[in-house]
Amino acid sequence: MKLLTLVSLLVLVCCSNGKRLVEINTQTSFKADSGMDGSGHVSMQFTSTTGEHCSVSEMDHPSFNDYRTGAFDRYAGELTQGCYEHEFTDPLQDVFVQHWGSDAWRFDFVRVIFDDNTFVDCGSGNHNIDDGDSVLVPCTYN
């Protein structure tokens, strides 16, 4: 009986809450001109299998030249805006990436890191968006 109580308690502690998003990473492709300077921007919306979602309206390091060709950029804390510590009860299904501006961005994947140190990658390489294009990229758990 005691063991059963302990087990139920552990289950409650471990699984009743979802995972909180703590960091977003982007892998800009290595192909020439994949990068994006100040004339290109992106927003992202992350959605779970049950429709929970959060969004980042302009993901950018204000004082750093991010999104360079081949760069792996990390966005944590308040840089994740509306996704800051957003809790997902269910697995992420996809990320909707919207581009605007005149400098196209080509990326390989977007990585989402959760507070339990797990992560998921969304994207299968070579997603190119420009001038208001958007792309819906599925997330895959290994």
Q: Whole-number minimum distance, CB 124 to Ca ion, in Å?
A: 20
- Interface stretch with Ca ion, choices 3-11, 17-25, 30-38, 48-56 (CB under 5 A): 30-38
Using CB under 5 A, pick the residue from 104, 115, 119, 135 that binds Ca ion: 104
Does residue 61 interact with Ca ion by CB under 5 A?
A: yes
Report yes or no: 103 and 71 within 8 Å, Cβ to Cβ.
no
Instruction: Give the whole-angstrom CA distance, residue 1 versus residue 4.
Output: 5
Which residue is associated with the tokens 């009743």? 16
Nearer CB in complex with Ca ion: 60/94 = 60
Minimum Å gap between C-beta 25 and Ca ion is: 15
The set of residues, in sequence order, having a beta carbon less than 8 Å from that of 142 and lying 6+ positions away, is: none
33 binds Ca ion (CB under 5 A): yes
How many CB atoms lie under 10 A from the CB of residue 134?
13
Q: Tell me the β-bridge partners of 83.
A: none
**Of 26 and 48, CB closest to Ca ion:** 26
Q: Is 133 in the site for Ca ion (CB under 5 A)?
A: no
Examine residue 60 and tell whether it contacts Ca ion (CB under 5 A).
Answer: yes
Closest alpha carbon to 71 in 29, 102, 42, 31: 29
Give residues in contact with Ca ion (CB under 5 A). 33, 60-61, 66, 103-104
